[in-house]
């Protein structure tokens, strides 16, 4: 059995994490225990820092059942609907055969691991289905787990409570490894464990796996037994910038560990040079940087990629060594402004395409016709009263970001707030959730029966018949309003 699973934390007290993180998670869980429905948690951070272990340990601590969907499972919209949707809205039966009802505080925890990979081709529609489920405010708690939370849509992040994990330090990892050695009856010098922990780079799971591989068939672990290869840890571009501008220690080695090409790195250095250097030093640094750019040009023209190392050396250590002494004080480094402009233009184009796709789909017209219709839609959303404009926006399922693109921030916020307040939506877009009832605050059976009897006694027979007629007519009217534009303008 893998030690990672054998020594996985059983309760929240066993979890190795920052105290603030554990406290925030417990506060969230206590709220659910009291019957307060909350947004799902989004546990974000690098792999191996205990995100999944914390979620499972929390369920054990609170006495909740667990429904887990991980990266190895397909997570298309119908899978999300069948497993996550039914799990989040329906009651369940425990392994012992006990019926668990959320009204009595007997909850189950829905865990979705690696949701940042849910946008893959085979998971088509999964994120939008998940977002619709979350907006329904299910009566069961949910925890989403992601290594790269910003790969998720901003709307999904906005509908969760994000808690960020950091890599564990060496001492935290060593303490866990010591407990495992003690439980396994293995004698191991603390310096050996420090070496394993340092090699893991803050990844507790990797450290435990390394320890198990080294200890296989041994009762004593000596320094010469530690033969694990050095793990290459990606460094941060901001740390490289600090090393270039704030120290005299050669930085080209750190640049090799970056997940950035030399073409990208030179833009980072170019953007931040004026923030650190002045006058003659700035001039000299740009001269060195221009030489690095010459090498990059030769790589592009001749495909001589061996020249990359010379370009990287010049743009890092070369720029670093022109200063007479390290620059003091804090500097807020910024990404290349060109990237921001390109990203902004790309996002605008993507929003434009999304809007055209929705207009074409729901108005039953081609993309070319949608382009012609778009100015009229903008005018309607801008000039009509809020209620009518919000109904049109809901008809086309326009997000706040798409509304901002069409009518500006202030008007978009006004329309979006109206849609959220009155819960306007297209029925057919959520047909896969039609089996789920809207989440209500828990009430006892006695309260429900009492309300039903009270309403029945207060209503006269004729009034009840009128009410039933109105309800039947209202269903038909509501269906027509959701599916056509005529209802927005009083048409039949």
Q: Which parts are annotated binding residues for ATP?
A: 45-52
H or E segment to which residue 369 belongs: helix 367-383
Q: How far apart are CA 271 and CA 284, in angstroms?
A: 16
Residue 107 phi/psi, 5-degree rounding, is -100, 170
Question: 73, 76, 70: which is closest to 143 by C-alpha?
Answer: 70
Alpha helices in 110-189 (DSSP H): 126-135, 154-158, 170-184
- In the numeric block, which tokens belong to residue 124? 């088509």
Q: How far apart are CA 221 and CA 272, in angstroms?
A: 48
- In the numeric block, which tokens belong to residue 40? 């799902």
Taking residue 67's Cβ as centre, other Cβ atoms within 10 Å add up to 19
Question: 298, 296, 294, 276: which is closest to 285 by C-alpha?
Answer: 276
Q: How far apart are CA 260 and CA 247, in angstroms?
A: 21
Q: How far apart are CA 70 and CA 113, in angstroms?
A: 5
H or E segment to which residue 6 belongs: helix 3-6
For residue 109, the cross-strand partners are 66
For residues 24 and 42, is the Cβ–Cβ distance under 8 A? Answer: no
Which DSSP symbol is given to 317?
I
Q: How far apart are CA 205 and CA 213, in angstroms?
A: 12
The annotation places the binding site at: 45-52
CA 135 remoteness from chain centre: 16
């Amino acid at each position: 059995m893998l030690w990672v699973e054998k020594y996985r934390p059983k309760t929240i007290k066993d979890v190795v994490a920052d105290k603030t993180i554990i406290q925030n998670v417990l506060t969230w869980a206590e709220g659910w225990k009291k019957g307060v429905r909350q947004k799902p948690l989004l546990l974000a951070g690098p792999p191996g820092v205990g995100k999944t272990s914390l979620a499972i340990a929390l369920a054990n601590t609170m006495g909740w059942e667990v429904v887990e969907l991980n990266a190895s499972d397909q997570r298309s919209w119908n899978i999300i609907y069948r497993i996550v949707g039914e799990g989040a809205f329906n009651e369940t039966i425990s392994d012992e055969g006990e019926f668990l009802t959320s009204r009595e505080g007997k909850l189950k925890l829905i865990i979705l691991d690696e949701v940042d990979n849910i946008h893959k081709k085979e998971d088509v529609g999964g994120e939008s289905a998940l977002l619709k489920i979350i907006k329904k405010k299910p009566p069961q708690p949910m925890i989403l787990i992601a290594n790269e939370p910003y790969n998720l849509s901003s709307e999904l992040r906005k509908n969760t409570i994000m808690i960020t994990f950091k890599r564990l330090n060496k001492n935290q990892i060593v303490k866990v490894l010591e407990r495992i050695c003690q439980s396994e009856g293995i004698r191991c010098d603390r310096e050996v464990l420090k070496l394993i922990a340092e090699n893991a780079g803050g990844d507790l799971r990797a450290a435990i796996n390394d320890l198990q591989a080294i200890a296989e068939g041994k009762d004593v672990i000596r320094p010469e037994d530690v033969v694990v290869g050095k793990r290459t840890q990606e460094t941060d571009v901001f740390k490289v910038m600090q090393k270039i501008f704030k120290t005299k220690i050669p930085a080209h080695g750190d640049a090799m560990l970056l997940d950035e090409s030399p073409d990208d790195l030179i833009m980072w250095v170019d953007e931040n040079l004026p923030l650190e250097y002045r006058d003659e030093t700035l001039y000299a640094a740009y001269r060195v940087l221009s030489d690095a750019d010459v090498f990059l040009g030769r790589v592009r023209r001749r495909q001589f990629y061996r020249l990359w190392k010379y370009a990287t050396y010049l743009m890092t250590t070369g720029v670093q060594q022109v200063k007479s002494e390290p620059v003091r004080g804090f500097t807020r480094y910024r990404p290349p402004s060109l990237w921001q402009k390109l990203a902004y233009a790309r996002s605008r184009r993507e929003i434009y395409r999304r809007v055209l796709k929705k207009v074409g789909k729901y108005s039953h017209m081609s993309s070319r016709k949608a382009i012609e219709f778009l100015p009229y839609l903008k005018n309607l959303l801008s000039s009509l009263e809020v209620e009518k404009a919000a109904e049109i926006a809901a008809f086309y399922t326009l997000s706040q970001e798409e509304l901002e693109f069409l009518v500006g921030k202030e008007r978009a916020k006004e329309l979006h707030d109206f849609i959220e307040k009155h819960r306007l939506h297209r029925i057919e877009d959520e047909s896969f959730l039609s089996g789920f009832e809207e989440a209500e605050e828990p009430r006892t059976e006695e309260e429900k029966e009492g309300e039903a009897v009270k309403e029945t006694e207060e209503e006269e027979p004729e009034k009840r018949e009128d009410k039933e007629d109105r309800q039947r007519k209202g269903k038909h009217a509501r269906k027509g309003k959701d599916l056509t534009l005529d209802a927005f303008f009083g048409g039949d």
